[in-house]
Amino acid sequence: MAKKNEYQLIWESYEDSSMARMQGDEHNPPEYDFDDEVGDRDIKIGNVMGQQRDLDNIAIKYEGFSDRQLNAHIHVLEGLVDMGEDDRDRYFAGDLGSPF
């Protein structure tokens, strides 16, 4: 029974100190603005979800492809990335030979 009381006292002490931190007093730092954190977190979550949606939209284009076809696409994509933006523009404009 004594152990339960000790745990209960520890928990109550923790709750009291947590509330004091949230409310702010002369012994604790100024009150934390939770609204800013929630906004930042919501923006970050929204960005990550948007990025995931973009990746899913790209991935769906490869539905039904064989391993051979996927590997050919990987080869082309790696070649395009290795070219850099300027050379890609030249390649698509027909001013540069195939890098594949």
Query: Counting runs of H as helices and runs of E as strands, what totals does the chain give?
Result: 4, 0
To the question of pTM greater than 0.75 for the whole model, the response is: no
Question: What's the rounded Cα separation, in Å, for the pair 54 and 48?
Answer: 10
* Residue 87 neighbours by CB under 8 Å, 6+ apart: 96, 99
Q: What is the pLDDT of residue 1?
A: 47
Query: pLDDT truncated to tens, each residue of the chain (100 aa)?
Result: 445 576 666 666 666 655 555 555 556 555 666 666 666 777 888 888 888 999 899 999 999 999 999 999 999 999 999 999 999 999 999 998 888 8
Q: What is the pLDDT of residue 42?
A: 78
- Please calculate the CA angle 46-51-56 and round it to the nearest 5 degrees: 125
- Cα–Cα distances (Å) from 34 to 17, 22, 98, in that order, read 17, 9, 54
Domain ranges of the chain: 64-100
Question: What's the rounded Cα separation, in Å, for the pair 48 and 55?
Answer: 11
Structure tokens at 57: 């939209």
Amino acid at 98: S
